[in-house]
Amino acid sequence: MLMLPISRKGEGQSAPFFTALFTSVSTSCITGLSVVDPATYWSPFGHVVLLVLMQIGGFGIMALASLLGLFAARRLGLTGRLITQHETHAVGLGDVRALLFRVGLFTVTFEVLTSIVLAGRFWLGYDYPFGKAVWYGIFHGVSGFNNAGIALFSNNLMGFTTDWWICVPLILAIIGGSLGFPVIYELTRELNRPRLWSTHTRLTVFGSLFLLIVGFGTVLAFEWANPGTLGPLDLSGKILASMFQGTSPRTAGFNTVDYAQMESETRLFTDWLMFIGGGSAGTSGGIKVTTFFLLAFVILAEVRSERDVVIGKRRIAEAVQRQALTVALLGVAFVGFGTFALLFISHAPLDQVFFEATSAFSTVGLSTGLTPTLPLSGQAVLIILMYVGRVGTVTVAAALALSERRTLYRYAEERPIVG
């Protein structure tokens, strides 16, 4: 559809195959990286195609991850299933139709509320015609909630750096999409009773809050006097821009400042945020917040020489620990592969290449401007990273959970030297 002449601005012109392929993969994987300027390259019909791809990609990954979670839970024994159902307070293990309905309702509610606020701001604050304001509100509301980061402006959202009515709704939409449906559903039932939250919800909520605060503080500290980013802004502008740049690496892809002008320290920290990503069964990518903080508790338990890994008075199964380690190390391997391949192809500086590879694998979409300059082979590497990053971590984690089985014997134990 993107190769149709109607999808591209200009009479009789059609997008090259590889440009359409890269854009469709990036959009359906809700990444946001682009080899062309989405605002000026694609026609209104092309923008509708992008909107549909973002919506399908976001809803599809949330529904798929939630369903795989149910299937994995059904493979547990009776005791395990009862504990899981009690802990998550989620939908019934066999009620697939209700699950999909709730995911859809959750998605539409967030997107409609965000779109209304954005449309009102574009109409009343920037004098856009009513129809254009509504369309821009819908497009950016869907893009924000689905963590796609695609904007209808050539400079992304850099024209709204200090606009609280644009940035704050998008921040809330990004967070809502990145938390994941299971967490949001549980919070709607037990918001005022944190002691009843499941371990997954606690890790996701408190881990996300920690990363948002640290991200905000890091951007504010390192970019405070940078003339290319926060330097020219007043205090209010610095705070808002730091909040946005501290949130966007949770795999949203929007930017209100130029990442190419950022300090190297900030970009390196952004790499870390992008790699971690957001919550499971959400629209975000990365290895997931639960994976990262679960491994942190594993390290803490090992340092303390504790036999069990305990989070909130719940012992974490060894199988889950191995799954988290597998997902994290596979993520490191793919980012490393992508970085090496892009270095070989482009000969660009290492920090730029690493940033682009991490952004692609974590389905973020933030860029220092390297992606459009890459040859087709480099863009092919990014396509692989985006696809693997979008479906890989979910399917690998689910496959590990679904293939879990008990053996009737154990071999003799041995301890190789570590370290």
| Interatomic CA distance for residues 320 and 156, integer angstroms | 39
List the structure tokens of 221: 């500290």
Place of tokens 């709704």: 169
8 A C-beta contact, residue 294 and residue 320: yes
Tell me what the mean pLDDT of segment 103-120 comes to. Answer: 92
Tell me what the mean pLDDT of segment 330-342 comes to. Answer: 94
Q: How many beta carbons lie within 10 A of that of residue 153, not counting itself?
A: 15
Integer Rg of the chain from CA: 22
The amino acid occupying position 70 is: L
For the chain, counts of helices (H) and of strands (E): 16, 2
| Interatomic CA distance for residues 42 and 23, integer angstroms | 10
How confident is the model over 26-61, as pLDDT tens digits? Answer: 999 889 999 999 999 999 999 999 999 999 888 877
Place of tokens 């966007």: 248
Tell me what the mean pLDDT of segment 194-219 comes to. Answer: 92
Angle between helix axes 78-88 and 199-223 (nearest 10 degrees) is 50
| Interatomic CA distance for residues 152 and 203, integer angstroms | 35
Q: How far apart are the first and last CA of the chain?
A: 54
Q: How many beta carbons lie within 10 A of that of residue 305, not counting itself?
A: 6
- What percent of the chain lies above the pLDDT cut of 70? 88
Q: What average pLDDT is seen over the chain? A: 87
pTM of the model: 0.88
Tell me what the mean pLDDT of segment 166-174 comes to. Answer: 95
State which H helix or E strand residue 39 sits in.
helix 38-41
State which H helix or E strand residue 402 sits in.
helix 393-402
* Burial class for 301, CB neighbours closer than 10 Å (0-12, 13-18, 19+): middle
8 A C-beta contact, residue 291 and residue 213: no
8 A C-beta contact, residue 103 and residue 62: yes
Cα-based angle 164, 170, 172 (whole degrees, multiple of 5): 100
**350 phi-psi bin (left φ>0, alpha ψ -120 to 50, beta other):** alpha
Judged by DSSP in three states, 310 sits in strand
Tell me what the mean pLDDT of segment 238-266 comes to. Answer: 93
Judged by DSSP in three states, 258 sits in coil
List the structure tokens of 220: 């504010």
Q: What share of the chain is helix, strand, coil (3-state, %, to 5)?
A: 70, 0, 30
Is the model's pLDDT at 281 over the cut of 80? no
Does 219 or 79 have the greater pLDDT score? 219
Taken in order 181, 284, 29, 46, the sign of the CA dihedral is: positive
**316 phi-psi bin (left φ>0, alpha ψ -120 to 50, beta other):** beta
Find the DSSP H helices in 158-303: 164-179, 181-190, 199-223, 235-247, 264-276, 289-303
Judged by DSSP in three states, 315 sits in strand
Residue 96 DSSP symbol? H
Find the DSSP H helices in 306-366: 318-346, 350-361
Tell me what the mean pLDDT of segment 89-104 comes to. Answer: 60
| Interatomic CA distance for residues 233 and 224, integer angstroms | 9
Tell me the CA distances in angstroms from 267 to 4, 35, 233, 351, 401, one per residue in order: 37, 21, 20, 8, 34
How confident is the model over 395-416, as pLDDT tens digits? Answer: 666 665 656 666 677 788 887 8
What is the band of 217 on the pLDDT scale with cuts at 50, 70, 90?
very high
List the structure tokens of 239: 């705070």
State which H helix or E strand residue 124 sits in.
helix 96-126
Tell me what the mean pLDDT of segment 372-395 comes to. Answer: 88
